[in-house]
Amino acid sequence: MDHNSYPDDYVAEILHSVKTIAVVGASPKEVRPSYFVVKYLLAKGYEVIPVNPGQAGNRILGQQVYASLADIPHPVDMVDVFRGSEALSGIVDEMLALKPLPKVLWSQLRVRDDAAARKAEAAGIRVVMDRCPKIEFGRLSGEIGWTGVNSRVISSKKPAVQAGFQALGIRSPKK
């Protein structure tokens, strides 16, 4: 597969079909992107399992943290990687040792290793690299709107609100 771009239906089918997501590199720090993604995925109904050897035994957003993928006591559908590109090959090796195999390897923005992707795909694992599931879910579900993020519209002006919808922002005082 060409990992420079992904068809929307490929990404949407993955996000629709997976239920359990291991987040490798999850952080308990509220300012870290991995924390935001764990929180968002939990809010969307996914079972999220944080993986971070430095936090093993603790909890992130109420979820038990495991030291490695092998320590998770049940199967996972997807592994979302918040580590550098250089770690991806080792994470794929960890995934290939799991029974059953996860269905999806997803690596976050700027995380890419084509050789690791080929290895995962050769084992039947679907791969998405250099993407964020939080962003993709929001984009494909229509959640991302007038703020301009991935809306394909760049504007400094907020569009007029249609009748029956609540305006977001400060209203001018009535005269």
Residue-wise pLDDT for 98-150, tens only, equals 999 999 999 999 999 999 999 999 999 999 999 999 999 988 888 775 555 55
From the list 48, 114, 107, 109, the residue with the least C-alpha distance to 80 is 107
Quote the tokens at residue 46: 């996914």
Angle among Cα 111, 117, 122 to the nearest 5 degrees reads 165
Domains in the chain: ranges and CATH: 8-141 (3.40.50.720)
CA atoms lying within 13 Å on the CB side of residue 152: 3
Contact residues for 20 (Cβ-Cβ < 8 A; gap 6+)? 46, 47, 49, 74, 75, 76, 77, 78
Q: Determine the pLDDT at residue 167.
A: 46
| C-alpha–C-alpha distance, residues 74 and 71, integer Å | 9
Percent of the chain with pLDDT over 90: 78
